[in-house]
Amino acid sequence: MKIKAAIPEKGQLTDMIINFEEQQCTIEEILELFSVLIQTGMAWSLQGNYGRLARHLIDQGSLSDDGTITHEFLPF
């Protein structure tokens, strides 16, 4: 399944980031968050670990360069 996550409102995105930081996300939620961060360009302007993880998810095939979710597997 290939989809792009819908861009959430600012407050919802903040909540998504907080949940990620507190390690309270499912695999699907991580992919959705990074799909949004890549689509908006925020992955490259936040702390370095966001950009590194975004690049990793793209390189290993979970996300495309435009933020499309290509599959749900996250081999860390």
CA distance linking residue 58 with residue 15, whole number of Å: 23
- Residues of the chain with pLDDT > 90, as a percent, come to 74
Tens digits of per-residue pLDDT, 8-63? 888 999 999 999 999 999 999 999 999 999 999 999 999 999 999 999 999 999 99
**pTM of the predicted model as reported, rounded to 2 decimal places:** 0.88
User: How far apart are alpha carbons 72 and 60 in whole angstroms?
Assistant: 11
- φ, ψ for residue 40, nearest 5 deg: -90, -10
Domain segments of the chain as ranges: 3-69
For residue 76, is pLDDT > 60? no
